[in-house]
Amino acid sequence: MSSSMLRRQFSQQFKIDTVELTLKEEKTIKEIADDLGIRATLLYRWREKYHATKEQAFPGTGNPKDAESERIRQLERQLRLVTDEREILNKACAVFMKKP
């Protein structure tokens, strides 16, 4: 079987991050899909599923996580988001604080 016939599998986190990227970016879904090397139709499907069920959109076939580890994962993700937002604000403040 050739490598082009094998189905690629993506993690739940990759799918969620990719869908959220389409919500934040100013690029089109087609451009984002091309950048990531996936089909735009696949990304559209992921978006529909994500909008329907949010974080539970891509349960996968792996071992189910207990409530505590799931909570930790959500908090780590939230921390990353807040940290990124803070960095953006710090950069914006630095730009506006420069004297002409």
- The predicted-structure confidence for 76-95, as pLDDT tens digits, reads as follows 999 999 999 999 999 999 88
pTM of the model: 0.51
58: left (phi over 0), alpha (psi -120 to 50) or beta: beta
Please give the pLDDT value at position 39: 92
Positive or negative: CA dihedral 12, 17, 19, 20: positive
Instruction: In whole angstroms, give the CA distance from residue 50 to residue 20.
Output: 9
Instruction: In whole angstroms, give the CA distance from residue 49 to residue 16.
Output: 10
Which parts of the chain have pLDDT scores under 70? 1-5, 54-56, 59-65
* Look-up of token digits 């090397």: 37
C-beta neighbour count of 15 within 10 angstroms: 21
Please give the pLDDT value at position 63: 53
